[in-house]
Amino acid sequence: MAKLTLDEWIARLKKNKSFSANAAAVVEIPARPGDWEDYPSWVSPHLRDVLVKRGMERLYKHQAQAVRFIRGGRDVVLVTPTASGKTLCYNLPVLQSILDEPETRALYLFPTKALAQDQMHEAHGLITDLQADIKTFTYDGDTPDDARRAIRRQGHIVVTNPDMLHAGILPHHTKWQKLFVNLKYVVIDELHIYRGIFGSHFANVIRRLVRICRFYGANPVFICCSATVANPREHAEKILERPVALLDKSGAPAAAKTFVLYNPPIVNRELGIRQSAMTPARKIASDLIGNHIQTIVFATSRLNVEVLTKYLKDKFVKTKPLDDHFVTGYRGGYLPNLRRDIESGLRTREVMGVISTNALELGIDIGNLEACIMAGYPGSIASTWQQAGRAGRRTGRSLAILIARSNPLDQFIMENPDYFFSLSPEHCRINPDNLLILLHHIKSAAFELPFEKGEKFGGENLEEFLQYLEEKGVLHQSGDRWHWAAESYPADEVSLRAINPENVVVVDATDAGNHKVIAEVDWDSAFTAVHDEAIYMLASEQYHVDRLDLERKKAYVRRVDADYYTDAMTYTNVRVIDSFDHHRTGGAIVEHGEVQVVRKVVGYKKIKFYTSENLGYGDVNLPEKDMHTTSYWFTIPRDRLRTLDFTPAEVIDGLSALAYTLQHLSAMFLMADTHDIDRSLGDKSGEWFVSQGKTGRVITSFSGGRPQAASGPDGARIDEFDPTIFIFDAYPGGIGFSELLYHEHANLLSAARSLIEKCPCAFGCPSCVGPTLEVGKTAKAIVPKIIDLVLNQ
Amino acid sequence: MKSIDKLKRLTGESVSPKPENERPAVPPSSEKQFRIDDLRRRIDGVVARSAARARAAQDEARARGNRALCEVLEGEERENRHGRFFLAGGFLSGASRHGHRSILEAFDIDMTAAGMLANNPVLGAYHPSDALFLDTETTGLSGGTGTMAFLIGLGWFEEGRFHVRQILARDFSEEPAALACLQEIAAQKKFLVTFNGKAFDVNLLATRFILNRMPSSLHELPHLDLLHPARRLLGHRLENCRLATLEADILGVEREGDIPGWEIPQRYFDWLRRRDPRLLADIFEHNRLDVISMATLTAHLVDLLNARALKQHAHPDDYLAAARLLLKKAPIASVKKILELLGEDACAGMSFASKKKLANLCKRAGRLDEAVRLWRQIIERNPRDFYAVSELAKHLEHRARDYARAMALIETALAGGNLFSEEEKDSLGRRLKRLTARIQS
């Protein structure tokens, strides 16, 4: 059969009735003309010639403005779409400045090694054309030792990542004297990646960088680039702690794109269950790939990547038995070599389909893909546009399909396509003064340079921290200075990407004599992904976890061929430690403050491939994890709930359902990732909490440090406590979401009521209050009544 | 609540519970307010006085520690324009022994050989008294800007004696003065001798100079880092190449009650808190011995190059390594003395591998008779040793022109069970063919 082109494929799709019935929106984003300006006069003719030869006759308007600002010494943040020539905005002024003044140095920061490599090649290409003696190097964990010395002394442009700056460069700044003394520009690309916990760390690394620059008398210009986010300037200013000029009008022409929002059909109206997003994703992807339309599929979890890759491989192995790379998975946890292979396979079109987590969302060069399928809303508008942008960076037309899942956020987007297409994307939020994060970086900073009395670092009282660290015996005050006085190397004690830098190594012990490390799992995921008896999936192979050895941080796995995968069950218990503020609304007391969260993986479900049938349960015995964070919560006195005409068990179900809705809506209100926040239902003392057991909802009492079931699903003793719904920051110490939610309390609950009332389901569904199997048949009826209790006097 | 208390809770430390009545239920009356204000003033006064007392007590402990230091160690407080520091010093007379050697032997080392050890011929123009031996004790081994050299041990030859000076920063604030003292002494010397100083001590000191915004020429001085030649000449028979191992196995130095290196940083941190000079005394002794050992180690390595080391302290393989080093850097004639030393007696107990190396050296140095003798010795024990067979056959063919014996040699080697690789078989086969042709022509 003849293969269809993308245009033909789209035309056929539009005629397909069953597809159209489920398409919530088909939006044609037209091509946009460009807006140009001449090169400024200070650009040397030679450099201009090189750029003109590369097809850049003139600059886009935003480029011209950016280079003008940068040349004038202003810190800027650039917010323009992919393929709008952001790179030139910094390469042009940096290269010109080095041509003018050969001692000039520039530091480029990218969030990943792969991006750094990409950008180094780009700059290197320009320099080769220029035939100038300008040296550009990447400096990261892969840089050989013998090359490092030369890079430190001679590199004009050093391209690195924040982790390396944090642990490899700043603590050795004296070796980089030449760079710091002459540092004129610092480029921070993909600024929007530095949010949440990573961003809070990053802001502190920048504080340290600025401090070291000051020591050498340098005051570099900062050039930030970001994907479209709601608050680019605010975010940049929070990271840099100084005023920054915003440039957000793109002058670049853009190619046409067809953007489809697809809502899978309802398969069970009573239960409100829709077809899984994975099903249409699989069908559409296999049809596109079958037509040799190069396609990227983004799945929302590592597990989904593996499941989908397995399905698609199964399909194409039949028709193309020889080529294992025709369809492939891609995610963090794959070893670097494999990832480089896949990236180049995509560029050469040997790989026709790739299924990825958001690992491929950033600007890694994978060539010009034609179609992008998102199996599930990526969690933020910014991510959605980034992912959609991976298709059609250079070609004339491209296709993006967003397939909704059955959760409130996805369904909200489907119900309100305008919201998606018109609204500004998310805010980036960071909390650089998160006490734990700040403490780590004060230690690292003290290692780099002694602190002097009166010095400032962060928004907290620095001297208190210094005294605290002196009590701990890591600092020593001598005169008016605090010196590092310990043997350790503090930058190694913290990873920027998470609070806990530990990793668990996955060891394949299939062949007893030949153990192989096949992947790494971060500490927090290890509890749910590689617990004993779990099925761990990697590159669509299944591995049975024989043993998770937490002490040695190893999971021993064995290759198996099972027809199921596993999904971990956890419980969460929250206890209030300190209330920062409170007020009363109607019948509830609303508060925000500090809480202790205890989590434990208690078991797992076995789920059959294709049918998603539940094959059984198993127990998991892992230690619980304990963290302090910030939370917003509200408590409804039990007397008030008694006035409702429902059984106590139904009330508990209703409260769980409300918590479910609120967590998802909070993510939208905060314009944050859903993973950044979590929920729990219990009471303020932490003595009682509600969890989902094997057979239904149970109230568990937490006494003597051990949880025990207090009651079965029938006799839920609601009269024992005043139920409290917690929506909390999913990171130790919190990143500042809770206070915002506290102030949005009334709006949040009104939105929840409106979402539930508008939902077409009969008794509640995953799109509003959660699946009825979990929250019971009365949830949809009771939640609005609970909301009334909370909001009205 | 104070941030620091929140922090303690986050890190799991105990915090004193919040006082129950943090905020009074009713606003205090004006009379009450006055009493409270008065009380607060008095409390503040007490707090301020006790802080001042604590500071005074700290200053006094510091002064007491400094005085006690002079009693425990032979040294005194010094002052330069950067401030005060502590300088200990002494000397060893030429006759003093250190392990197998007397210090005297290190006085007149051959500087040409020293230059070869340093891989820097410039040293050849200097005199042993131009050397500055340097070893530091630091607050950690991890490197980076947060590690300080609190004790800098120096040594040099002067008027028939070996002088040792140890510069101590009694606190972080004394570091600039200590570094200035180092700079002053180094300015009078022409080259450095260290053990692993290129990677560690000098690097670290360069960082400290930068951090204190002081100029330094230390890292520009020519530098003999003994670690590398020691590893090269002696590594083959040592478990590791730490200075302590070299002392025990080569130099014959025995240390009693020596402080282990890993304890040193914590001892210094304890000193900062407790100001008990006994904490530092062991470190001074450890550092002093390190400096002296560097001097005798230099002498020993130079002697190996010059084929002058005492027989009982040198191994034939040491000389072999020395000869190989020499051949890289010096005219062939320079290895003559060593090869003479490695005569028939010396190499009797040598391993096959060493004999091969030696045979190669002899060949390169033009001492063919000895090479032939060694090849024969090897073949006698193993007639199928590829290296020896082909070398000897080559010699017989091209030099001795004894084709028949060359052929016999190869035929014996190829006969019966041999373990030659295909390549080796080919090579021997080709030679055999050529020899056959030569005999027939």
pLDDT tier at A501, thresholds 50, 70, 90: low
Closest CA to A790 of A614, A599, A661, A640: A640
From the list B354, B353, B352, B370, the residue with the least C-alpha distance to B362 is B370
CA pair distance A293, B430, nearest whole angstrom: 61
Last-in-domain residue among B275, B305, B335: B305
- Do B49 and B195 fall within a single domain? no
Provide the pLDDT confidence category of residue A209 given band limits of 50, 70 and 90: very high
B157 within 8 A of B303, measured Cβ to Cβ: no
Q: Do B131 and B266 fall within a single domain?
A: yes
B357-398 pLDDT, tens digit each: 878 878 877 778 888 888 888 888 887 888 888 888 888 888
Note whether residue B25 is domain-resident.
no
Considering only A18-32, A47-61, A130-144, A661-675, which range has the smallest mean pLDDT? A661-675
Sign of the C-alpha dihedral, residues A708, A714, A717, A722? positive
Question: Distance (Å, rounded) from C-alpha A539 to C-alpha A536?
Answer: 10
Least confident of A32-46, A109-123, B33-47, B106-120: B33-47
How close A500 comes to chain B (CA, Å)? 13
Name the band, by pLDDT with cuts 50, 70 and 90, for residue A67: very high
Average confidence (pLDDT) over B23-49: 67
Answer whether A599's CB lies under 8 Å from A628's CB. no
Query: What is the interface size between A and B, counted as CB pairs within 8 Å?
Result: 85
Which residues pair with residue A225 across a beta bridge? A78
What are the DSSP calls for A284-335, one per residue?
Answer: HHHHHHHTT--EEEEESSHHHHHHHHHHHHHHHHHH-TT-TTSEEEE-BTB-
| Token pair listed for A748 | 């949040």
Q: Are A174 and B207 within 8 A, CB to CB? A: yes
**Containing domain of residue B42, as a range?**
1-16+33-69
Q: Is residue B26 part of a domain?
A: no
Query: Is the CB of residue A313 less than 8 Å from the CB of residue A543?
Result: no
The residues near B108 (Cβ < 8 Å, ≥ 6 apart) are B128
- Whether the full predicted model's pTM is greater than 0.95, yes or no, is no
Q: Which of A358-367, A682-691, B264-273, B423-432 has the largest mean confidence?
A: B264-273
Tokens of A408: 């409130």
The per-residue b/e assignment along B176-215, b for 16 or more CB within 10 angstroms, e otherwise, is bbbbbbbbebbeebbbbbbbbbbebbbbbbbbbbbbeeee
Tell me the C-alpha distance between B434 and B441, whole Å.
11
Read out DSSP for B320-334? HHHHHHHHHHS-GGG
Give pLDDT, residue B22. 45
For chain B, percent of residues with pLDDT exceeding 90:
35
Same domain, B278 and B165: yes
Q: Do A488 and B142 touch (CB under 8 A)?
A: yes
Q: In b/e form, how buried is each residue of A195-227, taking b as 16+ CB within 10 angstroms?
A: bbbbbbbbbbbbbbbbbbbebbebebbbbbbbb
What pLDDT does residue B159 have?
87
Which of B4, B139, B211 comes nearest A174 by C-beta? B211
For tokens 């005199």, what's the residue? B127
Same domain? For B420 and B324 the reply is: no
Mean pLDDT for all residues in chain B: 85
Contact B211 A732 (CB under 8 A): no
Q: Nearest residue of B to residue A167 by CA position?
A: B144
Lowest mean pLDDT among A57-66, A166-175, A647-656, B170-179: A647-656
Question: What domain count does chain B have?
Answer: 4
Measured distance CA(B23)–CA(A734) in Å, rounded: 27
Q: Do B110 and B64 belong to one domain?
A: no
* More confident site: A93 or A660: A93
Residue A611 near residue A538, CB atoms below 8 Å: no
Assess whether pLDDT exceeds 80 at residue A268: no
- B224 within domain boundaries: yes
Same domain, B234 and B175: yes
Q: Quick one: pLDDT at residue B25? A: 44
Quick one: closest CA in A to B138, which residue?
A487
Per-residue pLDDT band at A165 (split at 50, 70, 90) = very high
Q: Any idea which of A113-127, A379-393, A466-480 has the lowest mean pLDDT?
A: A379-393
Preferred mutation among B1, B2, B3 to probe A, highest tally of A CBs within 10 A: B3
Of residues B248 and A237, the one with the higher pLDDT is A237
CB nearest B173 (choices: A479, A488, A490):
A479
Q: Is the pLDDT of residue A709 over 70?
A: no
pLDDT of residue A540: 64
CATH number, domain of B199, equals: 3.30.420.10
User: Pairing relation of β-strands B83-93 and B161-168?
Assistant: antiparallel
B244 CB within 8 Å of a chain A CB: no
Q: Which of A449, A478, A578 sits opposite B1 (nearest CB)?
A: A578
Tell me the shortest Cα–Cα distance from B1 to chain A, in angstroms. Answer: 9
The C-alpha atoms of residue A366 and residue A355 are separated, in whole angstroms, by 13
* pLDDT above 60: residue A377: yes
For residues A648, A652, A658, A664, the Cα torsion angle rounded to the nearest 10 degrees is -170
- Given a cut of 80, whether residue B345 has pLDDT beyond it is no
Q: What average pLDDT does range A160-181 have in this prediction?
A: 95
Inter-axis angle of helices A196-215 and A232-240, nearest 10:
50
pLDDT of amino acid A737: 82
- Interface list for A 572-591 with B (CB within 8 A): 577-578
According to the per-residue pLDDT averaged within each range, which of A295-309, B285-299, B317-331 is highest?
Answer: B285-299
Which residues of B are less than 8 Å from A464 in CB distance?
A: 2-4
Percent of chain A scored above 70 by pLDDT? 88
The β-bridge partners of A437 are none
Q: In this structure, are B228 and B257 located in the same domain?
A: yes
Q: Are A680 and A597 in contact (CB under 8 A)?
A: yes
Band of the pLDDT at A714, cuts 50, 70, 90? very low
Asked if the model's pLDDT at residue B215 lies above 80, the reply is yes
Decide if B144 contacts B50 (C-beta within 8 A).
no
Q: Per the domain annotation, does B157 fall within a domain?
A: yes
Over residues B48-76, the mean pLDDT reads 85
Q: Which residue has the higher pLDDT, B10 or A421?
A: A421
DSSP assigned state of A428:
P
* Pairwise CB contact (< 8 Å): A486 & B140: yes
Element (H, E) at A507: strand A503-508
Tokens, residue A372: 């992008």
Residue in chain A lying closest to B141 (CA): A487
Q: Do B210 and A485 touch (CB under 8 A)?
A: no
Q: Is the pLDDT of residue A393 over 70?
A: no
| Per-position b or e across A525-558, b if 16+ CB within 10 A of its CB | bbbbbbbbbbbbbbbbbbbbbeebeeeeebbbbb
Identify whether residues B191 and B219 lie together within a single domain: yes
Could you say which of B4, B141, B206 has the minimum Cβ distance to residue A464?
B4
Whether B139 has its CB under 8 Å from any CB of chain A: the answer is yes
State the pLDDT at residue B346.
64
Q: Return d(Cα A24, Cα B149) in angstroms, integer.
A: 69
In a domain, B21, yes or no: no
Residue B49 lies in a domain: yes
- Looking at the structure, tell me whether residues B133 and B209 fall in a common domain: yes
Cβ of A483 within 8 Å of Cβ of B148? The answer is yes
Instruction: Name the nearest CA neighbour of A443 among A241, A166, A168, A196.
Output: A166
Kindly list the distances between the CA atom of residue A390 and the CA atoms of A400, A498, B286, in Å, as whole numbers in the listed order. Answer: 9, 27, 63
Residue B24 has pLDDT above 50, yes or no: no
Q: What is the pLDDT of residue B229?
A: 92
Q: Which residues pair with A692 in a beta bridge?
A: A697
Asked if B210 and A177 come within 8 Å (Cβ–Cβ), the reply is yes
Do B196 and B342 belong to one domain? no
Q: Are residues B273 and B338 in the same domain?
A: no
Q: How distant, in Å, are the alpha carbons of A681, A703, A704, A790 from that of A721?
A: 11, 14, 18, 17
The Cα B113–Cα B126 span in angstroms is 12
In a domain, B225, yes or no: yes
User: Which residue in B6, B138, B213, B271 has the most chain A C-beta atoms within 10 A of its own C-beta, making it the best mutation to test that interface?
Assistant: B6
Q: For an interface test with B, which of A483, A488, A577, A625 has the most B Cβ atoms less than 10 Å from its Cβ?
A: A483
- Which pLDDT belongs to residue A97? 96
Q: Is the CB of B142 inside 8 Å of chain A's CB atoms?
A: yes
- From B269, B284, B305, the end of a domain falls on B305
Calculate how close chain A gets to B8, using CA atoms only, in Å.
Answer: 9
Chosen domain end from B369, B396, B411: B369
Name the residue facing A481 among B6, B172, B269 (closest C-beta): B172
Residue B376 lies in a domain: no
Q: How confident is the model at residue B21 (pLDDT cuts 50, 70, 90)?
A: very low
Sorted by sequence, the CB contacts under 8 Å of residue A91 that are 6+ apart come out as: A122, A123, A126
Mean pLDDT of the A718-743 span: 81
Q: Does A148 touch chain B (CB under 8 A)?
A: no
Window from A185-194, A380-389, B249-258, B333-342 with minimum mean pLDDT: B333-342
What number of residues does chain A have? 793
Instruction: Assess whether B341 and B356 both reside in one domain.
Output: yes
CB contact (8 A) between residue A461 and residue B3:
yes
